[in-house]
Copies of this chain bind each other. A is one copy, B any other.
Amino acid sequence: MPNQTDRLATGLATIQSITGQSGQSVVESLKDIAPDFADWIVAFAYGDVMSRSGLDKPTRQIATIAALTALGTAAAQLKVHINGALNVGCTPQAITETILQMAVYAGFPATINGLAVAREVFQERGVSLAGAG
């Protein structure tokens, strides 16, 4: 197992490459109330898990988008990870397709709500909606 310094460094590099500033802002915002949890996001979620080599970063983001769309309880996190998907090279179309597919596995309301988050991200980043569907 990597040592703690390496876990944090790997995690910081991974969170930076996936989420850019938005994920780091979440981590920063947690330091007042739960500094250890902020560290767990960096060292465990990104350092131990999301940095692993067995799955490429775009596919990992698709998996996260699928899960958060299906669960339907984490709109803010879904927004971070749709941004993350674009950051690591997913096309808008791949993101939209993933959310559409959830209509089969989690129902139409899950997809409608997921698309609302995707639209918000696409519009903030100037992504053409016409090519995303």
Contacts and interface: CB of A to CB of B under 8 A. Distances in A.
The 6 closest A-B pairs by CB, nearest first: A72-B73, A74-B109, A63-B66, A67-B70, A54-B97, A55-B97
B55 A98 contact: yes
Count of chain copies: 6
A113 to B, nearest CB: 7
A131 to B, nearest CB: 10
Q: What DSSP secondary structure best describes chain A's contact surface?
A: helix
A69 B62 CA distance: 14
Interface residues of A, number: 70
B129 A33 contact: yes
Given A36-B52, A54-B96, 19 more contacts: A1-B8, A30-B112, A33-B132, A34-B132, A34-B133, A36-B48, A40-B103, A41-B108, A44-B44, A49-B104, A50-B104, A55-B98, A63-B63, A63-B101, A73-B113, A74-B109, A76-B112, A104-B107, A105-B107
